Amino acid sequence: MDHGGKLERLVEIMDRLREPGGCPWDHEQSYATLRSYLLEECYEAADALDRGDSPALREELGDLLFQIVFLSRIAKEDGKFTIEDVIRGIADKMIRRHPHVFGDATARTSEEVVDAWERIKRAEKQSAGGKPGGLLDGVPGCLPALLKARQLGDRAARVGFDWNGPEPVLEKLEEELSELRSAVSEGRNDEVQDELGDVIFTAVMLARQLKVDPEAALERTNRKFRERFAWIEQELVRRKTRLDEAGAELLEQLWGQSKSALRRP
């Protein structure tokens, strides 16, 4: 049967890989071994998004989908759930959590949608017999620290625990920088990490107030740094000077020149 691009065809391929006579490598995989591949595919898909590379995004989404099918196949072998259960579960969840679309509720703004989503989520957990958790318990512990900080701030802000605009956050950032500066200058090395963490966390809170994605902002700066450093390397090659022999003064001079050379129109 020709399933074309349907999900059933991918499931059949996965079944063949795991069945006797299939692929030895696929036979050896487990939840633990696939975890790193799952994260890797997520990051590669995010990278394609950042670069606006649609062909790459299509491919990376396929790789990510394969990991979902793979993990579901292992779960099926363990008698826990199937890919059909995964699909049915997310479809049912989307209908339940969008009563303003599939029911009689109303939601005029994105904020109202988010509030309703959280209320429904808490109700689902209670009806399933789960213990009422704290407001921040829903933030996954395995998230990258920058994303986790943003989600913690977002959740706290929902109950009014937030700054009233960016100016107070800027003042708090200056305070945290002052404390970091004091810890460094006074040699209190055991406090430097904590103070630096406070600075970064406050910077993420500032990004929230400015409605800037801190991850995207940092990645933008990462790209600028790479581009400028690559320009310096090329300039040193042109001057027939080794990078490790250039010296701090010349590198700083070239860094300033790179900003002008790479300035976008």
CATH match for 7-95 among 1.20.810.10, 2.60.40.1180, 2.40.50.100, 1.10.287.1080: 1.10.287.1080
Mean pLDDT of the chain: 92
- For residue 79, what pLDDT is reported? 97
- For residue 126, what pLDDT is reported? 79
- For residue 122, what pLDDT is reported? 82
Please tell me whether residue 154 adopts helix, strand or coil conformation: helix
- For residue 102, what pLDDT is reported? 95
**Residue 158 Cα distances to 23, 152, 161, 163, 246, angstroms:** 49, 10, 7, 12, 52
Identical fold, 7-95 and 145-212 = yes
Of 2-16, 36-50, 157-171, which gets the smallest average pLDDT?
2-16
Confidence of residue 265 (pLDDT cuts 50, 70, 90): low
Mean pLDDT along residues 95-102: 95
User: For residue 240, is it left (φ>0), alpha (ψ between -120 and 50) or beta?
Assistant: left
Mean pLDDT along residues 183-206: 96
- 49, pLDDT greater than 50: yes
- For residue 23, what pLDDT is reported? 97
- 2, pLDDT greater than 50: no
Contacts of 165 (CB under 8 A, 6+ apart): 209
Tell me what percent of the residues of the chain surpass a pLDDT of 70.
Answer: 96
CA distance 126 to 137: 14
Q: What pLDDT digit, counting tens, does each position of 200-213 carry? A: 999 999 999 999 99
- 115, pLDDT greater than 80: yes
- 199, pLDDT greater than 50: yes
Q: What pLDDT digit, counting tens, does each position of 19-37 carry? A: 999 999 999 999 999 999 9
- For residue 135, what pLDDT is reported? 81
Domain ranges of the chain: 7-95, 101-127, 145-212, 216-261
**Homologous superfamily of the 145-212 domain (CATH):** MazG-like (1.10.287.1080)
Neighbours of 57 (CB within 10 A): 18
> At 86, which helix (H) or strand (E)?
helix 83-96
- 124, pLDDT greater than 90: no
